[in-house]
Every structure is written in C-alpha cells, then in structure tokens.
C-alpha cells in the first residue's frame, strides 16, 4: 500500500494516531520537503517516530516515482506531507501515478492551513478562491493575486493568501554551469506580502476605486506557525501589517471580505493596535 | 486550559497524538454531539482513550458553558469536536466565552471535511463559498443553496455542499407538550440532495439557462464517510446520482466548476458509469 500521510501543522505530535501507526510499520518513510515545512526538523520527526525518514525533494517526487513507490504492491510505503496530502499542496499526480502502476493507495488526512486558518475566527464557509502571493523580483511583479482578492471581496468573501516558499533555488550562474549549489530557503513573510499589496494599491491609485479595493486601512489578518506552541495571530491594517514582525516561518495572510459581528469580535482578540480595534468595533455595530 | 480538540473524520485513531495526550490528562472530556458524527460511537472513543466521555448536546454547549468550563482556569478540560473545532462547525462562540471568563484556550486542529474533500481530486484552491443543503419539508423548500452553487460556477469554482443533519429533533406535538422525546437522527444523503437539486433544475427549466446552470447531465461528486476504512467516492451525473446509494452517513456533495484535465483524470477513478466517464474524457481533451 502507498500511504499519503498528513503531518498536520505544528510539530511531530500533530500526526494522527492512525498516521503514526503507518509510519512505524512502513518499509520506507519519505518526507515531502519542498512545498511546506514543520517548525521542527527531520531529526525531531525521526526521533519521535523511531524511524529513518528520507527527504524527498521535488525532483525525486516528480521524476523518480518508480523509486518512491518500489515494492508498494507488497509492502507499505509512507509518503509524509506537512498539513494534508491533498490540502494546500495537492499530490493528486502522485495518486494517479500509483493507480497507473496498479498500486493501492490510502490518504490519511490531517489539518491543513486550508482549514486550520479557522483559528483566526473568520468562518471557513465564507472564503472564496485561495490565492498564492509570490516573491516579487526586480523584473517580475505580477498582480494577479490582487485581482483575485478583489473578486472575492466583491462577493463578500474572505481570501486566504498562501505565501511563497523558495526551496532549493539556484542562482542563474550555478544553474547555467550545472552546479548543484542551492541558495538558502526563503519564505515570504506576511509583512513582505502586505508591502507588495500596498505597492499595488499605490500603483492603481489613479484608477476608479470601489468598496472592494484595498486601501492602506483595509483590515488584514496574519498568522504564523499555525498549530505550533508559538503560533501567532495578528490583526492590523494593511499599512500597519507592513511592519509587523510575525517571527519565523511559515506565515499566511487573510484579507477579509464582509464580516459577521461574531467574526469581528474574534479578530479583536488579536488586534495589533487601538486603531484596528476601533475599526473592528464599527463592524460589530453595523 | 480549555482545549478544543479536533477528532478528524474517520474513527477513534484519527485523533492526533497531541490531542490524545490532552484527552488522557484532562479532568473532564466532552464530545460535541450535535453537528457531526464519527462512524464510531462514544463507547469506541471511551475504550480507545481509556477515559469517560460526556456527550454535550446543543443545549449544553450553548447554555451551560459555566458547567462546561468549570475549573478550566486551574485544570485541563477537553472539548472534542468531530473534524476540526473551527472547520465545518465553527465553535468561535465557545472561544469568545472562554476568553470572557478569563480562561486560556488552545485549539488542536485536525482534518475537516473542508479540507479532506481534497480526496476526490478537485483542487481545494478552486472551491468557492461552501453551501449547506437542508432537508426539504413539505412546506419549506428553500433554493438559496442552488443560487450559491451557480454563483461559484459562474467563476469556474467548485462548490462543497454540506448535507443537513437533524439531531435531537422533536415532533411538534412533543415540543408543544414539553415532552423530552426526540426523533431518531436524520442525515441528508447525497442522493436526496441531488433529488432536491434536480427538482430545482426542473422548476427553473422555463427560465433562460446559462452554461453555469445545472442540468440532469451536470457532473457531481458524492463522498461518504471520508477518512473511514469504508470511505466511498462516486462521480455521476446529477440525474444518475439521485439513485446512487452511498451507504451510511455522513455524506457530502461537490458540484464542480471549471475542471483542470488532472482533476478530470482523478474524478475518472471514481466514475459511476460509462456515461460519466465519457463526459470526463471530453474535459481532459479540452
């Protein structure tokens, strides 16, 4: 059996009892290590599981599925994914390849940022399309995520913004010369994401604004290390959030749409400033 | 500490290791028993946890939070919720009451149908607003869920439809006479939900149809007992799904929007008929 096991979001103990049982008896245990990270490293997982864990990078998962799935017709192989195997990162391609090989597969679900974002108090029902905010480069500054946020807001929906992760990047020089030298991983922070959003707001300032457009005073929610013991949630305006330090990765951002008074009341628990607290109070009264 | 612990979706072993640890050392353990069910009963949980579990119905949770949270300032109290505590059912009101009482709280996340629905192969990113399909009564047949599905489809988004659960219902007679006699729980099945949708399609037949409207040939996805060992996924047309038996509860339904070829390929794994398989093949070729 080929098992796709979700690890949840916090630390080693966020695996389910069912998932841990699979890990402990599997012949080989892989950890998908390129779309997300736990706040604890591979070694902490190995200690907790009492098992060797093989890091699987994108090349291995996308190109070496024969190796990954070897013997999975007669033995159990576990493929661990931070969050849920079919959550923020969708490993459906891996399932399709397993089925093609005639293998049986099983998904062991766990919390994903896609549902654990409920921790900030905005109702999961009321989220529209999820967007990804990418690192802007000097000559590549896409704005499509902004447009999607606005489309959600036009319908009163909240937007979960997943923030870019750059693992195993190569400089152009190293890439050209074929040198397997990689840059340190980079994680887009909530404040960086807000700086990019604010930049878009400024660029579009001359265009006709609607109520759905963002302004420096739009309420935003940043979350960091959801599920971990040092989880942090901050509610601030877009302008304020540009300077909020959420600490180490991973961060995510939510741009609320229409808020129910109860949602406003929950957000107030995490208010970063008196200013945003007052803004939230006007929502409650509406 | 007041803990809100997600149980995940399948059986007793879908709790996380962290959650199980809380349950085993908490002074009291409550199980929220009115918005969802596990495929296993309270007794199976008690056996697995080695702890007594107190059933908490809606009245208790909404009106007796003093009792529920008693001593949570000095002791650990665990409140168990099927799925995620802030997932399909949002217990933010409970968090607000805990904070009001000056209590500390912690959420232990787990899989919810809101993310585990990824099991059918449609990308979580591409879901719009989640809708609830309610049991139609003779004189109460709302259609608002249909309109929300169409709004999602107009933007190419999928719609997760949560299906109605009736726990602790009273007949009007028993209610009037104040007799605490309750009807057996009822769970809207995927086929019943599709019958209601098809009825709406028929009623609106005379109106101007768009590509986003449902027809008897619209592809639907039904899931049952997600995460349990007898999980079932079926992909059929709306008309076909009216007769598909998904077995015991809980069921959910997905009405896809625009599908990516890879999503179509995954759905084909669960095709109920040659007819729907052929419809899916036309998507892949698009």
Instruction: Return the residue in B3, B98, B109 with the most chain A beta carbons within 10 A, the one to mutate for interface testing.
Output: B109
Residues whose CB falls within 8 Å of the CB of residue B119, separated by 6 or more in sequence, listed in order = A86, A107, A109, B223, B226, B231, B233
Copy the structure tokens of residue B238: 């709306």
B163 annotated as a binding-site residue: yes
Question: Å from B118 to nearest chain A CA?
Answer: 5
Specify the CATH architecture of the domain A114-285: 2-Layer Sandwich (3.30)
Q: How many other β-carbons are positioned within 10 Å of the β-carbon of residue B172? A: 7
Instruction: Based on DSSP, count helices (H) and strands (E) in chain A, helices before strands.
Output: 12, 12
| C-beta atoms of A99 and B21 within 8 A | no
Any bridge partners for residue A127, and if so which?
A: A158
Mean pLDDT over B15-44 rounds to 91
Quote the CA–CA distance of A277 and A271 in Å, as a whole number: 6
Asked if pLDDT for residue B262 goes beyond 80, the answer is yes
Quote the CA–CA distance of B65 and A39 in Å, as a whole number: 34
Quote the CA–CA distance of B71 and B53 in Å, as a whole number: 17
B65 annotated as a binding-site residue: no
pLDDT recorded at residue A209 = 79
Asked if pLDDT for residue B9 goes beyond 90, the answer is yes
pLDDT tens digits, residue range B183-231? 888 999 999 999 999 999 999 876 677 889 999 999 999 999 999 999 9
Angle between helices A144-154 and A190-203 (to 10 degrees): 80
Mean pLDDT over B107-113 rounds to 96
B87 annotated as a binding-site residue: yes
A87 annotated as a binding-site residue: yes
Rounded mean pLDDT of chain B? 93
pLDDT recorded at residue B286 = 58
A14 annotated as a binding-site residue: no
What share of chain B has pLDDT > 90, as a percent?
78
Q: A88: which chain B residues are within 8 Å (Cβ-Cβ)?
A: 124
Residue whose entry in the numeric block shows the structure tokens 């991983």: A185
Low-confidence stretches of chain A (pLDDT beneath 50)? none
If contacts are CB pairs under 8 Å, which of residues 35-64 in chain A contact chain B?
none
Instruction: Return the residue in A97, A98, A124, A156 with the most chain B beta carbons within 10 A, the one to mutate for interface testing.
Output: A124
pLDDT recorded at residue B285 = 65
Taking the Cβ of residue A269 and every Cβ of chain B, the question of whether any pair is shorter than 8 Å is answered with: yes
Domain boundaries defined on chain B: 2-111, 114-285
pLDDT recorded at residue B207 = 67
pLDDT-based confidence at B57, cuts 50/70/90? confident
Q: A96: which chain B residues are within 8 Å (Cβ-Cβ)?
A: 262, 265-266, 269
**Are B109 and B223 within 8 A, CB to CB?**
no
Mean pLDDT over B167-177 rounds to 85
> A208, exposed or middle or buried, with CB in 10 Å at 0-12, 13-18, 19+?
exposed
Asked if pLDDT for residue B37 goes beyond 80, the answer is no
pLDDT recorded at residue B30 = 96
Nearest to B115 among A87, A99, A227 (CB): A87
Superfamily of domain B2-111: Tetrapyrrole methylase, N-terminal domain (3.40.1010.10)
Per-residue 3-state assignment (H helix, E strand, C coil) for B88-114:
CCECHHHHHHHHHCCCCEEEECCCCHH
* Helix (H), strand (E) at residue B54: strand B54-56
* Helix (H), strand (E) at residue B281: helix B274-285
pLDDT recorded at residue A57 = 85
Residues whose CB falls within 8 Å of the CB of residue A256, separated by 6 or more in sequence, listed in order = A122, A158, A219, A220, A221, A263, A267
Any bridge partners for residue A107, and if so which?
A: A4
| C-beta atoms of A115 and B119 within 8 A | no
Residues whose CB falls within 8 Å of the CB of residue A242, separated by 6 or more in sequence, listed in order = A191, A194, A195, A198
pLDDT recorded at residue A284 = 63
pLDDT recorded at residue B88 = 73
pLDDT recorded at residue A183 = 85
Q: A266: which chain B residues are within 8 Å (Cβ-Cβ)?
A: 92, 95-96
Q: A151: which chain B residues are within 8 Å (Cβ-Cβ)?
A: 155
Taking the Cβ of residue B264 and every Cβ of chain A, the question of whether any pair is shorter than 8 Å is answered with: no
Nearest to B129 among A84, A126, A265 (CB): A126
Coil, strand, or helix at residue A159?
Answer: strand
- Range with lowest mean pLDDT among A150-164, B163-177, B244-258: B163-177
Count CA atoms within 13 Å of residue A221 on its CB side: 26
Quote the CA–CA distance of B136 and B140 in Å, as a whole number: 6
Taking the Cβ of residue A107 and every Cβ of chain B, the question of whether any pair is shorter than 8 Å is answered with: yes
Question: Å from A167 to nearest chain B CA?
Answer: 21
Copy the structure tokens of residue A178: 């074929």
Mean pLDDT over B75-79 rounds to 97
Q: What letter does residue A75 receive in the DSSP assignment?
A: S
Q: Which of A31-45, B84-98, B259-273 holds the top average pLDDT? A: B259-273
Q: Give the DSSP letter string of A106-157.
A: EEE----HHHHGGGGS--GGGB---EEEPPPBTTB---HHHHHHHHHHHTT-
Instruction: Return the residue in A102, A103, A111 with the most chain B beta carbons within 10 A, the one to mutate for interface testing.
Output: A111
Copy the structure tokens of residue A71: 């013997």
């Amino acid at each position: 059996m080929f098992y796709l096991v979700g690890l949840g979001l916090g630390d080693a103990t966020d695996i389910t009892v069912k998932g841990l049982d699979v890990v402990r008896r599997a012949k080989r245990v892989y950890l998908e290590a390129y779309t997300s990270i736990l706040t604890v490293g591979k070694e902490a997982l190995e200690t907790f599981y009492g098992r060797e864990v093989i890091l699987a990078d994108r090349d291995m998962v996308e190109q070496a599925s024969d190796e990954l799935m070897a013997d999975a017709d007669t033995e159990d192989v576990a493929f661990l994914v931070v969050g849920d195997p079919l959550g923020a990162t969708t490993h459906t391609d891996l399932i399709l390849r397993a089925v093609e090989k005639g293998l049986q597969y099983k998904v062991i679900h766990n919390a994903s940022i896609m549902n654990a974002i409920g921790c900030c108090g905005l109702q999961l029902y009321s989220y529209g399309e999820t967007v990804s905010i990418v690192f802007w480069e000097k000559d590549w500054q896409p704005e499509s995520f902004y447009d999607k946020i606005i489309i959600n807001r036009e319908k009163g929906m909240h937007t979960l913004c997943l923030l870019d992760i750059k693992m195993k990047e190569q400089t152009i020089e190293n890439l050209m010369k074929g040198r397997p030298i990689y840059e340190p991983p980079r994680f887009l922070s909530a404040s960086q994401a807000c700086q990019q959003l604010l930049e878009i707001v400024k660029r579009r300032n001359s265009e006709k604004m609607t109520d759905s457009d963002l302004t420096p005073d739009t309420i935003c929610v940043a979350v960091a290390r959801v599920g971990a013991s040092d989880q942090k949630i901050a509610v601030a305006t877009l302008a304020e959030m540009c300077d909020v330090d959420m600490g180490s990765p991973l961060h995510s951002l939510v741009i609320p749409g229409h808020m129910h008074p109860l949602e406003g009341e929950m957000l107030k628990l995490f208010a970063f400033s008196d200013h945003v607290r007052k803004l939230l109070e006007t929502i409650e009264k509406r």
